Amino acid sequence: MSQNVIQYQVIWNRLISVVEEQAQALIRTAFGTATREAGDLSAGVFLPDGRMVAQAVTGTPGHVNSMAESVKHFLRVFPVETLQPGDVLVTNDPWKGTGHLYDITMVTPVFRHNRVVALFASTLHVIDIGGLGPGPDGQQIWHEGLFLPIIKFIHAGRLDETVINIVKANVREPAQVEGDFFALVACNDVGGRRLLTLLEEFSLADLHEVGEYILDRSKQAMLDAIRSWPTGSWESELWIDGYDQPLRLQARLTLDHDGIHVDFSGSAGFVAKGINVVKAYTDAYTSFGIRCLIGADIPNNAGSLGVIKIDAPEGSILNAPFPAAVTSRHIIGQMLPDMVFNCLRQARPGEVPAEGASCLWNIQLSGGHLIPEYDARNTLIQPRFSITSFSTGGTGARPKLDGLSTTSFPSGVRNVSLEILESISPVVFWRKEYRQDSGGVGAQRGGLGQIIELSHGQKLPMELGAAWDRIHFPANGAEGGLPGAAGRVTLSTGETLSGKGRQVIPPGSHLIVETPGGGGLGNGYHRDPDSIKRDLNNQLISAEAAAEFYGYDVPFTNQTE
């Protein structure tokens, strides 16, 4: 192995530590719980032409993989030769960022010897961006909040006060949002300073030669991984709840020696509600689904991503045009790995997981503002609040392994501690437990969903911004496995709520959220008896389910004293 190759490997490891420190700086300084507690963010370093070289391990695929393309949009507006030391650029344009207005993306150039040697970019999800608030109720992007085109936030070290004042005037939580903006500035600065130290230590003028080597090796490694799979084309379809009627997604995946092509022709057209997906977010989760199975250990950068080509017809729900509403784009976007899995399972049966709950079941609540259904005196006596409880269902069963219960796949975000949410809002959580029998039956059982019960601690009304799926179309099992349980949302009064849209939680009512389970894999009658017994002991399945679906007779125990 040549000296250069060894040095490049060392530099690569250092680059990963640089971008990970960048991400950790964002977590430590962020004000919003989405970033600080759930890790809903991305961080990465780019060559001066906008190609991503390395990304932080901490972060979500929706942010990282869509941000991989967003830096190129920044450079079209602000060519690299026009930038100055101390400049910081910002946008939340869904079509040039990471998919909806809640995600703020910042880009900071790094100068060495009066020349741009790299760009650092980072993204986080703010708690509020104005407009109608969380949920897919908007019909156009202008209903969904403040839209920031690609602009300069800091000019040669001088903050643009006008920008931050406009932001603060348009959001419900100005202190949190302002703090998050400056956290993005800080984390990019940390990354830039660490990179300059690295270049100095290795006597490098810039990142160009090392970056090209990393991207070339990553591309070749990804091609080698693809070529270990059978060549061919496979199709899959997936039905989702939609906003007010079911929607069909269609995919055709083709593997050949030159790469992977996924074509979503045949998918439903975009709708006048905020469940549409921009192309960058479609690309992000489609490529992530592929990388879970092919080339999982290969660096995720412009080189490895470049051999994956994704087409979605413009005007479809997976390539929604401006000015479509897109706030809840995660509902459909996070289903795309399941579509990829359903195609690749045909190429390699027995090696691919079943479908999971997939899209997040975040509980988005707010209060302290006018709620038309109730007298103003009953809604304005409390402090204003907005919270998002990151909640999840179960993943699909895996080859030789059960699905993971209450796990954020494919998003990768963490659940937010209930104690944290209770400390910053009047919401009280009464119950959070596994949902028995929600995992799909199979030789490998699907992961379980959960039951969450909460209320307003002062028995005042709250607004719920529901953005959930898998209520009418639960996660399918595979290869003989059965579907996971469908999601369900009810009030303690017995009323069933919709999975999407603004709804009011009446004073004194408890909200009960039952998240979906993952699909099973293989015939349940082939499940290992010890696994069934363990599930029974842990109350993950009931005795009735064990007998009906697994053919397992629970021994009678005389419990008389």
Number of helices (H), then strands (E), in the chain: 14, 19
- Please, which pLDDT band fits residue 377 given cuts at 50, 70 and 90? low
Q: What is the pLDDT of residue 374?
A: 77
Cβ distance 285 to 312 under 8 Å? Answer: no
Could you tell me if 208 and 233 are in contact, meaning their C-beta atoms sit under 8 angstroms apart?
no
Q: Does the pLDDT at position 379 exceed 70? A: no
The single residue listed with the structure tokens 């999800």 is: 125
* Arithmetic mean of pLDDT, 437-464: 97
Structure tokens at 166: 């406009």
Checking if the pLDDT of 376 tops 70, the result is no
Rounded mean pLDDT, 526-543: 97
Contacting residues for 185 by C-beta, under 8 A, at least 6 apart: 88, 106, 108, 153, 154
Structure-token pair, residue 47: 């060559």
Report whether pLDDT(447) > 90: yes
Question: What was the pLDDT predicted at 553?
Answer: 86
Mean pLDDT, the chain, as a whole number? Answer: 95
Instruction: Report, as an integer, the average pLDDT of 404-409.
Output: 97
Residue 532: pLDDT above 60?
yes
The pLDDT value recorded for residue 378 is: 59
Q: What pLDDT score does 369 carry?
A: 79
Provide the percentage of residues in the chain whose pLDDT is more than 70. Answer: 97
Q: Which of these, 423, 410, 412, lies nearest to 355 by C-alpha position?
A: 410
Residues 395-418 have a mean pLDDT of 95
Neighbours of 418 (CB within 10 A): 16
Is residue 3 predicted with pLDDT exceeding 70? Answer: no
Average pLDDT over residues 208-230: 97
Residue 522 has pLDDT above 80, yes or no: yes
Which ranges in 204-274 belong to alpha helices (H)?
208-227
**Block residue for tokens 């990393």:** 214
Q: Quick check: 200 pLDDT over 70?
A: yes
Give the C-alpha separation, 298 to 304, whole Å: 7
Tokens of 314: 């413009």
Interval 275-296 mean pLDDT: 97
Task: Check pLDDT > 90 for residue 368.
Answer: no
| pLDDT category of residue 149 using cuts at 50, 70 and 90 | very high
